[in-house]
């Protein structure tokens, strides 16, 4: 009887040892970090200030007006959304339709460039005082080409919207790559999309020359790997992890998530952070970037803390 007990105990200890070895292998063995892309290198202290839709609460989003305001206030990066017009021009637009943000109706993909540029992009925008301060004064959503021409020294996060018609996904990434090459913006842009296939299509052309975001699928895999102690199973396919603070399933703003990204050599950004309390918490936690509709507020906080 004692012999059987010893055998059972030995088996249990071997199983326990095996579990411990697997746990260590999946979580604590060192991994080779990716090389940091030049896009993410900067000398500033504190997180990068990333103007979401070029500053969606300081001016109508994705407009030249918002880009001008964010640039002048000193943001580190401007995030814009990309759609393609009927005649094949890449323009700044978040929604697949123009209804919510302009005086027009219908799909961006059904407009020619001239028709799109004629829309009043300040028509529906209300400022923090509830005023329609940008209505009827010529605010418009520009082409990506115009943005690069007028603000060639800015850094940009370019989100190729997954809501573009599926049959133009290849066309838009090809034209995007051509514009980046023409203006030599390789080290000043990061290309992202919720659709990982769009990112992969773009990288098949850029071949690592441009910084990449991560699609929903990759972000999901990163989250599962780090929430369920499987982090060494995650293989980076981009340069940065961008997360909301939380959703109904997970809190993403945690030490484990931030450390998990950094051990892989990836930056970690949070979106879309507009309230002062969360901004302060994230600045104090040392996140790499904060994507916000209120870059003015974030810059004020950084200046107060001596980080600008």
Of residues 52, 83, 226, 269, which has the active-site annotation? 52
Distance set, CA 41 to CA 38, 79, 155, 237, 282 (Å): 5, 17, 11, 19, 19
Of residues 37, 94, 169, 226, which has the active-site annotation? 94
52 is catalytic: yes
Contact call for residues 80 and 92 (beta carbons, < 8 A): yes
169 is catalytic: no
d(CA 45, CA 230): 32
Calculate ∠ Cα 181-169-238, nearest 5°. Answer: 65
- Give the residue numbers marked as catalytic: 52, 94
């Amino acid at each position: 009887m004692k012999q059987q007990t010893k055998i059972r105990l030995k088996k249990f200890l071997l199983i326990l040892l095996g579990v411990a070895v697997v746990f260590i292998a999946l979580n604590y063995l060192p991994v080779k970090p990716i090389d940091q892309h030049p896009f993410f290198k900067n000398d500033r202290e504190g997180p990068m200030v990333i103007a979401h839709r070029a500053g969606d609460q300081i001016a109508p989003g994705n407009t030249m007006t918002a880009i001008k305001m964010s640039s002048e206030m000193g943001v580190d990066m401007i995030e814009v959304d990309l759609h393609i017009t009927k005649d094949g021009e890449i323009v700044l637009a978040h929604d697949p339709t123009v209804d919510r943000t302009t005086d027009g109706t219908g799909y961006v993909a059904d407009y020619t460039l001239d028709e799109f540029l004629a829309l009043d992009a300040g028509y529906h925008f209300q400022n923090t005082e509830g005023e329609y301060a940008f209505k009827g004064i010529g605010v418009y959503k520009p082409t990506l080409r115009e943005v690069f021409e007028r603000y060639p020294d800015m850094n940009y996060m370019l989100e190729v919207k997954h809501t573009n018609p599926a049959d133009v996904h290849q066309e838009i990434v090809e034209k995007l790559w051509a514009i980046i090459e023409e203006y030599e913006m390789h080290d000043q842009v990061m290309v992202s999309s919720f659709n990982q296939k769009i990112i992969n299509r773009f990288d098949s052309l850029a071949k690592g020359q441009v910084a990449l975001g991560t699609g929903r699928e990759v972000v999901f895999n990163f989250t599962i790997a780090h929430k369920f102690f499987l982090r060494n199973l995650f293989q980076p396919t981009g340069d940065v992890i961008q997360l909301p603070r939380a959703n109904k399933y997970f809190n993403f703003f945690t030490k484990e998530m931030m450390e998990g990204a950094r051990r892989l050599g990836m930056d970690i950004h949070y979106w879309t952070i507009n309230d002062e309390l969360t901004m302060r918490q994230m600045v104090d936690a040392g996140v790499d970037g904060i994507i916000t509709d209120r870059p003015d507020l974030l810059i004020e906080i950084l200046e107060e803390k001596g980080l600008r």
